[in-house]
Structures are given as C-alpha cells and as structure tokens.
Amino acid sequence: MKKLFISLLFLFILSSCSSSSDLKETFYELKIVPTEKITIYFDKNTAHFHLVYLEKHKNKWKQVNGATLYSTGEEKNFVISSNKKPFLYFGTITNPEADKIIVGDTDATLVTYNNNLRLWYYVDFTAKKHLSIYEVVNGKKVLLQP
C-alpha cells in the first residue's frame, strides 16, 4: 500500500510540472499548402525565436528545416539556414524607419511579436544560392547581406 501511495504521489508531481511545450509560445503559423507550413515560436526557456518549416507525412508534422535567432537587439540581426531545402532567411528589423526587407527580388514576410518586435522571414524553395538581403528605408534599398 505504501508503494502504491508513493507511486501515485510521484505521478501526481510529474503531471503537475509544466511541460516543455508550456515554454514555447507559438505566435505565427502559415499553411503554405495543406502539407507544408511555417511556424514561428518564442522559447521562453532560452529567450530565442525559432522559424520552423514543416511538412506533413502520414498525418504527422515533421520539421524539415529551422532557423534560430539568438539575439534580437543587434543592428543587423538575421540568420540564413541553408543546410537543407528550402533555405530559410529569418531576422528582426531593428531600424524603426525600415519599411520592409527584400530577399533577392522578393519582399520578405513581416510578423510582429508583442506589438513591438518586428520579425521577417523568407522561404527560398529554389535554394540554388544565397540571396542578397536588403532593408528598405524611405524607398531606398540598403544592402544588409551581399
């Protein structure tokens, strides 16, 4: 009886602990097609932002590629994940006068977090080479990454 009580107490304690998913705040999700989607989440444990590209296989979502921003306060803060297709470009806009980000010849998608932090991303499905990244301020393109 004592072993049963201890086992039940242990299970209760484990079930009341917060799971790692409680530490992940998903705040943006876009289904590209029914079997592909982009998710951006903030990991409260590490204070990092993650961009994840997922594909659906046999009714389960599997991560194909991902990119992590380790800091959001730097002037030129972005990451390019080019180890797998599709290539992922992901960053923050720290210049308050910036209107948009252009990757190659295409406008990046802008996402706002907590009404003040502006993030951007671009998914390159061709993934043939690294693309240049520009910040647009007052209609003028400024090269961030050649």
Each domain of the chain, given as residue ranges in start order, spans: 20-145
Predicted confidence (pLDDT) per residue in 82-122, tens digit? 888 899 999 999 889 999 999 999 999 999 888 888 999 99
Full-prediction pTM beyond 0.75?
yes
Residue 106: predicted pLDDT: 95
Does the CA dihedral 20-21-22-27 come out positive or negative? positive
Predicted confidence (pLDDT) per residue in 10-45, tens digit? 323 223 333 444 667 777 787 877 788 988 888 888
